[in-house]
Amino acid sequence: MNDDQKNLPLRGRETTTAAILDAAEELFAARGYDAVSVREIAERAGVSHALVHRYLGSKAEIYRVILESNARGMLAAAPDNPDLLATASLMLRDGLTEHSRYLRLVMHSAVRGVPTGWPAGTFGATERMVELAERAAASASPAEPADHSLDPRLAVAFMVALTVGWNALGPLLLARTGIDDMDEDAIVDELERVALDILRTHVPVLGDDDSASR
């Protein structure tokens, strides 16, 4: 009996699969898709190479599962919330605190591409914010000044780019600007403020009461 067979009754398939996905996500986030092998994922998870293939299939399939499960998790951070600013705040904070590795995977995927068919159909958080931004723009009074208005989709894209880009480059930028001793919670607070200011300035959101996003 090999080690996998000994451990499976104790760990169970669900627990083992979760361990494999966690190990894979950690490696992919640190090094990118191309630089990680299934054998390395197996070693990090403490299982055999064959077991990884049996439970999850190819490396591309593992990557796809990680991307899609994280995308669902970020979308669930603001379930059915009709307020654009509150939704953006919740998703931004969730991304930077609970799904930071996922945002690094998004960056890796955008720069290098991966053979998974992503991002089609898996970027639900952004799609949700676009929906709310377009709804807010359509509901705005025609009398409101439009000097700074953008296509609401572009405003959301800028906010998402800020969030994903900061997650990937933040530690380097903090060091280069001499503020790497800044408190992490304070950094998230300031990123939220800047990101929401983009939406407030460029999307005609009705009303100024955004206390839910503070």
Domain positions in the chain:
1-57, 59-213
State residue 147's pLDDT score. 56
pLDDT recorded at residue 115: 57
Q: Which stretches of the chain are DSSP H helices?
A: 3-31, 38-45, 49-56, 59-75, 84-97, 100-112, 124-139, 152-177, 184-202
Residue 146 pLDDT: 54
So what's the pLDDT on residue 136? 86
Structure confidence at residue 212 (pLDDT) = 43
Among candidate residues 135, 114, 115, 127, the one with its CA nearest the CA of residue 157: 127
Q: What is the pLDDT of residue 11?
A: 59
Print pLDDT tens along the chain (214 aa): 345 444 545 458 899 999 999 999 999 998 888 899 999 999 999 999 999 999 999 999 999 899 889 988 988 988 888 999 999 999 999 999 999 999 988 888 777 766 555 554 457 889 999 999 998 888 876 655 555 678 899 999 999 999 999 988 888 999 999 988 999 899 999 999 999 999 988 886 544 444 444 4
pLDDT of residue 214: 42
Q: Are 162 and 198 in contact (CB under 8 A)?
A: yes
1-57 classified as CATH 3.40.50.720: no
Q: What pLDDT, on the 0 to 100 scale, is given for residue 144?
A: 54
